[in-house]
Structures are given as C-alpha cells and as structure tokens.
Amino acid sequence: MRIDADRLSYAYVRGRDVLRKVSFSVGAGQVAFLLGANGCGKTTLVECLAGIRTPRSGKVLLDGRSLEQYALRERARRIGLVPQIHEPVYAYTVFDIVLMGRSPHLGLFARPGRRDRMEVRRALEAVGLWMLRHRPYTQTSGGERQLALIARGLAQGATCLLMDEPAAHLDPRHQHDVFRVVTQLASDGFTVLVTSHHPNNALLYGDSAILMIDGAVVAQGSPESVLTAEHLEATYGMPFELIHGPNGSKAVLPKAPR
C-alpha cells in the first residue's frame, strides 16, 4: 500500500495554516521518519493522513485513490493509527485492547467472534505479546503498550501504519524492540510513517526521512541525505555535527557549548 500527501494544507483557525502544501509519498515496504521541532504540525499531519481531520486543501491518496473515496470503515481496514502511549481510564486486558481493532470489520450490533479472536492472536504473535494477552494494559510497560497498539493496527487489517512518536518515554532497548517489529513489518510489505524527535532512530531504522519546519516540508529523501548538519540546525535552531562510526554507522550529535 502506498500513501501520498498531495499539497495538504490544514488550519485550526482560519488564516493560520499549520500545514502548508505538504507533499510526500511513502511506498510499500518503507519506513519513513517524519522529523520536526515541537509544534511544527507532525501530529496534525498524521491525523490528516488517518482521515481524522479533513485538510483545508490538497488530498491524501491511498494507492492513488483519494482518501475521501473510502468509507470510514474501509479506511480503518487499510490505515492503522498508533497513537502516543496513553493511560486508558479502564483496565482492559491487552487482548481486549487489540480486539477493539476489529471494529471496522464488525457492524454496530455485532460482537467479535472466533475469527476475530484468531486475527487478534495472529496480531499479538506478530509483535510478540501473545504471552501477555491477559495482562491489564494499564500494568504493561511503555514498550509493551506501543507493541499492543501496533498489534491493534494489525488486527484492523491495516497495511499502512501511522505511528505518532512511538519512541517517546522509551529507553533505548525498548525503542529498539519496537523498531525491530516495525522494520520486520516493513520487510513484509507494510507501509510505515513514524513521527520522531530522534534523528538517530531515522538513521538506524528509516528507509527515508521527511523534515518539516513550521508546517512545510523542507527536505525529504534518504535519511543520510536529509539529516545533514545544516538541515538539523535549521529545524531545531541549534548546531549539530555528524559522527561517523567505525563500521559505517552514523549519528548526529547536538553541538552543545559547555
């Protein structure tokens, strides 16, 4: 599945666009990282792509077809939103949380059946959480929650995942656990868009990177070509340097004055 943003603009308040003619595309099998400073419009963009917000102008294309041409439930069977880690009010089990992902396959009056439970099992096994299925979601770690939310997207049947800051609140090990699952899914043909505040994660796990400043895309392409010292300085308003490791690995470091 291929997802394109075609000159998307969005405004919460008339006359003040938070997205300005954003265009990019992510193809099947790709993990794209969306980077930008706090408040630059990343979450708004993700919500436009998921069909939660309707852009003021421009459109979202799913396999070349405008998102508006898909019914709400059809969209939900193609695009899975993986929100930032949250604390639900009620202590649903991991299984129940993932089972909710079957909603777009069930009518208003229907309850999930055997087939839905099988899909949930497959999704939980794909992210490695089947053993934790009975655990209350509220008592799982941040990494496990992120994986459960990915599994929920899989249970929806989505082949395009939009992830809003999956690395937030996670230590490097748990970030790695999440991105290992994400890159595995991409190699199985999934389309993944990840918003992030960690340029190094884009270098480590990304196939492409998209850089946004004030609601507009300023650079896109391979992570190495996008995450240059100049681009990062323009994005975050502070100097950066690129570090080359011995095995060809790369990392960016802020040049902080001591």
Partner 1 sequence: MTGRRESSAWILVALAPVVFLAALLVGRFGIRFTDTFRALLGLGGVEDVFRALVLQVRLPRVLAAACIGANLAASGAAFQGLFRNPLVDSRILGVSSGAAFGAAVALLASAGWLGVQVSAFAFALVAVGIVCTIGSRLGSSPLVLVIGGVLVSALFNALLGLTKYVADPLSTLPAITYWLLGGLSTARWASIIPLLAVTVLGVTFLVAVRWRLNVLTLSDAEATAMGVRVRGFRWAVILVGTVLVAASVAVGGMIGWIGLVVPHLARAWVGPDHGRMIPVSIAVGAIILMVLDSVARSAMASEIPLGILTGLIGVPAFFLLFVRFLSQRESTR
What is the contact surface with partner 1 in residues (CB under 8 A)?
47, 50-52, 72-73, 75-77, 79-81, 83, 86, 88-93, 95-96, 100-101, 103-104, 106, 108-112, 134, 138-139, 156
Supply the minimum distance, in Å, between the C-beta of residue 95 and partner 1. 8
Identity of the residue, 105 or 176, whose beta carbon is nearer to partner 1 in the bound complex: 105
Distances (CA, A) of 169 to 43, 44, 98, 181, 187: 17, 20, 21, 18, 26
Q: Are 117 and 131 in contact (CB under 8 A)?
A: no
91 vs 253 by CB, closer to partner 1: 91
We find the least distance from the C-beta atom of residue 100 to partner 1, in angstroms, to be 5
Min dist. Cβ of residue 238 to partner 1 (A): 32
Where are the alpha helices (H) located in 24-91, listed in sequence order?
A: 42-49, 72-76
Tokens linked to 110: 């229907």
Q: Measured at the alpha carbon of residue 228, what is the angle toward residues 245 and 172, in degrees to the nearest 5?
A: 55
The two three-digit tokens of residue 22, written as one number: 């954003």
Q: Which of residues 53 and 250 has its CB atom nearest to partner 1 in the complex?
A: 53
Shortest Cβ distance from residue 18 to partner 1 (Å)?
16
| Between 155 and 227, CB nearer to partner 1 | 155
* Nearest distance from C-beta of residue 38 to partner 1, angstroms: 19
**Which strands make up the sheet holding 31-36, listed edge to edge?**
79-82, 160-164, 191-196, 31-36, 208-213, 216-221
> Based on CB atoms, which residue is closest to partner 1, 156 or 208?
156
CA pair distance 213, 211, nearest whole angstrom: 7
